[in-house]
Amino acid sequence: MEKWNGSSVTEFLLLGLSEDPEVNNVLLVLFLFTYLLTIIGNTALVTVCVTESSLQTPMYFFLGNLSILDILFSSLYVPFILAQLVSRTRISFSGCAAQMYISLLLGITECELLAVMAYDRYAAILFPLRYSVIMSRSICGTMVVCCWIIGGSIGLIDTVFTLQLPLCGHNIINHFFCEATSLLQMACGDTFVTEMVIFSGAIFALLIPTFFTLVSYVRIITTIMKIRSSEGRRKAFSTCASHLIVVILFYGTAIFMYMKPKSVDTVNQDKIISLFYTVTPPLLNPVIYSLRNKDVKVALLKVTNRSNFR
């Protein structure tokens, strides 16, 4: 079988989700509708977090940043998927590299941001009197910048190690975007070093934030259960429930995708899992936070009413 270096590949052909025209038409409408809802929902959340004075707190500062990440994350994938549903898509080697890096950057940054949001809830519930000092504006801003730096650094390392692999005999990617796991399946020779680099990156990007979040919530729940009034416990739980649901959705699918044994790799399974964590969380996050958060619902009503009376 012919072998060539990744540097000699000028473009890749992405096979996409399906080759059935009827299925593609249905998926086109579904993903277009999903994308519009995602953009509208997250834009509304960003708007209320920025404009409403009642939401000028660290919790909603992080929530606004999460919504911006979700807009970028969804905009990276869904328009590209829509183009593939119309016709097979070719992407240049440099375009594939950029797509892989940006997807890792955004995904890892969101992982870190969710862990920071868990720490915010931890500080708010365990240290309410010192909360404004612990989570000052400068500290919150520094935390968000650090999330982006970690995402950019790990994403760059994973991308460089993946794209330097020699490829076997073809440049066809049986996926809907350039993902590290798909290129690993096309690689010739020993991929052990690259797999270990990606696995190590996943430990820092996924397992450590997951462990940190888990420890934070154990402490949070222990503290909440000591609150004597049932109303106090309910209010405390309500501020954490939305974030916990989002964490389970995002971390769960991402960990399974990037840390599962290679022996259980299947193309269709990878596509479904990739779709779930790239499309579903950005769509559901604003719904979860809006439906379970009284302050957000009130702020959304205020913004809507102001718009109607203009």
Domain boundaries, the chain: 3-308
3-state secondary structure 29-66: HHHHHHHHHHHHHHHHHHHHHHHCHHHCCHHHHHHHHH
Q: Which is nearest to 245 in space by CA: 291, 202, 285, 297? A: 285
Judging by beta carbons within 10 Å of its beta carbon (0-12, 13-18, 19+), is residue 158 exposed, middle or buried?
Answer: buried
- What is residue 187's DSSP assignment? B
| More confidently predicted of 215 and 277 | 215
| More confidently predicted of 39 and 296 | 39
Q: What is the mean pLDDT of the chain?
A: 85
Q: Say yes or no to pLDDT of 134 above 90.
A: yes
**Confidence (pTM):** 0.89
| More confidently predicted of 65 and 299 | 65
Q: pLDDT class for 279, splitting at 50, 70, 90?
A: confident
**Using an 8 Å Cβ cutoff, are 158 and 196 in contact?**
no
User: Which pLDDT tens digit goes with each residue over 77-121?
Assistant: 999 999 988 887 889 989 999 999 999 999 999 999 999 999 999
| CATH architecture assigned to 3-308 | Up-down Bundle (1.20)
